[in-house]
Amino acid sequence: MNIHTKVSRYSQEFDPPVRGDTITADRYTTKEWMDGEMKNLWPKVWHLGGLLAELEEPGDIIRHNFAKESVIMVKQEDDSIKAFYNSCPHRGNRLVLGEMASVPRIVCGYHNWTFDLDGTLAKVQDPDDFEGGTPCGKVHLSELRCETWGPFVFWCMDDDVAPLHEWLEPFPERLKGYGIENWVRVLNVSADADFNWKIIRDNFNESYHLPTIHPELATFINDGLPDTLFEMYPSGHNSMWMKGHQATTRVDYHTSEVPAPLGEAARAWGIDPEEYNGRTGDLREAIIEAKRRLGPGRGYTNYDNMSDQQLVDYFHCTLFPNLTLTMSPEQLQVLRTEPHPTDPEKCVFQHWCLYPPVEGMKEVFTPLGMLPLQHDAVARHSVYGDGVSVGYVADQDLSIGTSQQQGLNSRGFKGCILPGQEKRIQRFHELLNDYVKGASE
């Protein structure tokens, strides 16, 4: 058995130096930092706005509220998608008030100004009462950039940011084999939470917390440090490749009996786990072989384009600044925190799970248990702490958020002390400093 293959090769290639900036508490607690981010960070990045699947017909609209901002994405007559600020050019009223709409034209609820789907003002009350004649045909909704990747629609407020596919590098290429274009969002949950948005970003930028916050994952995900691959890309994004279908090497599972969750995964692919007692690390290879052999017959047509690693491992893609995509062959988790409109000590946490549309499959196993394989089988917004789950594992991550926020407010906290494996946190904050501080100085 060789469980140490391909560990450090990529990290040498994608391991930029860091400066060692102090990660102080004020970035998690103060209005100044929040305002700096609103001015210099959030306009300069692409934001995941929604799903292509929700924009089928001309006039279909999805709305994305982000902090104090609100953006609508509108399907056009020619099948393209345009994004507009959700603000009426007349006197600023918000145009679309629900999460979704399907309309022939966009109508403001205040004085009925009416816009064509391409944002052009088409109808107003008393058109002759304007100096210079009717504003119709001359006034437009304020437009922002809108591009798509895979099943997703993104928007961006800044004209100088790289085009979406370039900005996403290297993920469009790296994730190609999974074939996510037609995956179905089954889970769509979000929650208001009592901590700064970066608390959970930091959490997703390290795996140091796995043994304490998610101890049960160690039975089927190898979080052992020598077996985990970290990469930090020139784009500012990073990834963590963790071996799946293999117990952790932190604990000596490999010479003992196959732990139960791993045994279950083996049985699901027709493998008797008993045969692997004493050499549990070998199960991963056996499952790769079984998935290759049996997968397409079970409807997993996407397996053919995946690498061996993709077939069994977990690929955590952490995009700067606030989007995480966690890939396995049968599930894509989207995890994100967004700032609260006014309070730096609050945020909105979002969790989507998408699944491949395997023919004949009626249900899928999600972080909320078995759910029907259909769009938004569970879609809800809650308040974290009220006992409503945002998904197993994610609940565990969020459980430290409030107490960390409280601790960061202490005069005694002097800045983070990071081990080497948390270098992605260091880099994240240095990039953030460059955006927020660099731009304003």
User: Which residues contact ligand FES by CB under 6 A?
Assistant: 88, 90-91, 93, 108, 110-111, 113
Q: Which residue, 113 or 241, has its beta carbon nearer to ligand FES?
A: 113
Asked if 240 and 229 touch (Cβ cutoff 8 Å), the reply is: yes
Q: Which residue, 338 or 397, has its beta carbon nearer to Fe ion?
A: 397
Question: Which residues are 333's β-sheet partners?
Answer: 326, 353
Angle at the Cα of 375 from the Cα atoms of 371 and 380, rounded to 5 degrees: 75
Query: In this structure, what DSSP letter does residue 253 have?
Result: -
Minimal distance in Å, beta carbon 136 to ligand FES?
13
Q: Which residue, 397 or 422, has its beta carbon nearer to Fe ion?
A: 397
End-to-end CA distance of the chain: 54
Q: Which residue, 123 or 381, has its beta carbon nearer to ligand FES?
A: 123
Please report where in the chains the tokens 């407020």 appear, as a residue. 157
| CA 342 vs CA 66, 197, 398, 417: distances in Å | 11, 12, 21, 29
Site for Fe ion in 60-79 (CB under 5 A): none
Q: Which residue, 221 or 266, has its beta carbon nearer to Fe ion?
A: 221
Sign of CA dihedral 9, 12, 13, 14: positive
Minimal distance in Å, beta carbon 218 to Fe ion?
12
414 binds, among Fe ion, ligand FES, none (CB under 5 to 8 A by kind): none
Asked if 255 and 282 touch (Cβ cutoff 8 Å), the reply is: no
Minimal distance in Å, beta carbon 110 to ligand FES?
4
Minimal distance in Å, beta carbon 85 to ligand FES?
13
6 binds, among ligand FES, Fe ion, none (CB under 5 to 8 A by kind): none
Minimal distance in Å, beta carbon 205 to Fe ion?
10
Please report where in the chains the tokens 């945002």 appear, as a residue. 390
Q: Is 206 in the site for Fe ion (CB under 5 A)?
A: no
User: b or e along 284-294 (b: 16 or more beta carbons within 10 Å of the residue's beta carbon)?
Assistant: bbbbbebbeee
Q: Which residue, 108 or 398, has its beta carbon nearer to ligand FES?
A: 108
- Find the helix or strand (DSSP H, E) in which 334 lies: strand 331-339
Q: Which residue, 68 or 111, has its beta carbon nearer to ligand FES?
A: 111
91 binds, among Fe ion, ligand FES, none (CB under 5 to 8 A by kind): ligand FES
Tokens of 420: 């080497």
Tokens of 161: 């940011």
Q: Which residue, 143 or 376, has its beta carbon nearer to ligand FES?
A: 143
Calculated CA dihedral for residues 401, 407, 409, 410, nearest 10 degrees: 180
Alpha helix locations (H) across 247-368?
Answer: 260-268, 283-294, 308-312
Mapped onto helix, strand or coil, the DSSP state of residue 188 is: strand
298 binds, among ligand FES, Fe ion, none (CB under 5 to 8 A by kind): none
User: b or e along 103-129 (b: 16 or more beta carbons within 10 Å of the residue's beta carbon)?
Assistant: eeebbbeeeebbbbbbbebbebeeeee
Minimal distance in Å, beta carbon 396 to Fe ion?
6
Q: Which residue, 34 or 108, has its beta carbon nearer to ligand FES?
A: 108
Stretch 376-405: interaction string toward Fe ion, x if CB under 5 A = ---------------------x--------
Calculated CA dihedral for residues 184, 186, 190, 195, nearest 10 degrees: -80
Minimal distance in Å, beta carbon 124 to ligand FES?
8
Q: Which residue, 109 or 296, has its beta carbon nearer to ligand FES?
A: 109
Q: Cis before residue 234, ω within 30 degrees of 0?
A: no
Rounded to 10°, the helix 401-408/197-204 angle is 110
Minimal distance in Å, beta carbon 84 to ligand FES?
13
Q: Which residue, 122 or 400, has its beta carbon nearer to ligand FES?
A: 122
Question: By C-alpha distance, which of 84, 88, 135 is closest to 107?
Answer: 88
113 binds, among Fe ion, ligand FES, none (CB under 5 to 8 A by kind): ligand FES
Asked if 95 and 86 touch (Cβ cutoff 8 Å), the reply is: yes
Minimal distance in Å, beta carbon 313 to Fe ion?
17
Closest residue to Fe ion in the complex (CB): 397
110 binds, among ligand FES, Fe ion, none (CB under 5 to 8 A by kind): ligand FES
Site for Fe ion in 113-172 (CB under 5 A): none
397 binds, among ligand FES, Fe ion, none (CB under 5 to 8 A by kind): Fe ion
167 binds, among ligand FES, Fe ion, none (CB under 5 to 8 A by kind): none
Q: Is 223 in the site for Fe ion (CB under 5 A)?
A: no
Minimal distance in Å, beta carbon 397 to ligand FES?
41
Minimal distance in Å, beta carbon 392 to Fe ion?
11
Please report where in the chains the tokens 């795996």 appear, as a residue. 207
Asked if 27 and 199 touch (Cβ cutoff 8 Å), the reply is: no
Positions in the binding site for Fe ion (CB under 5 A)? 397
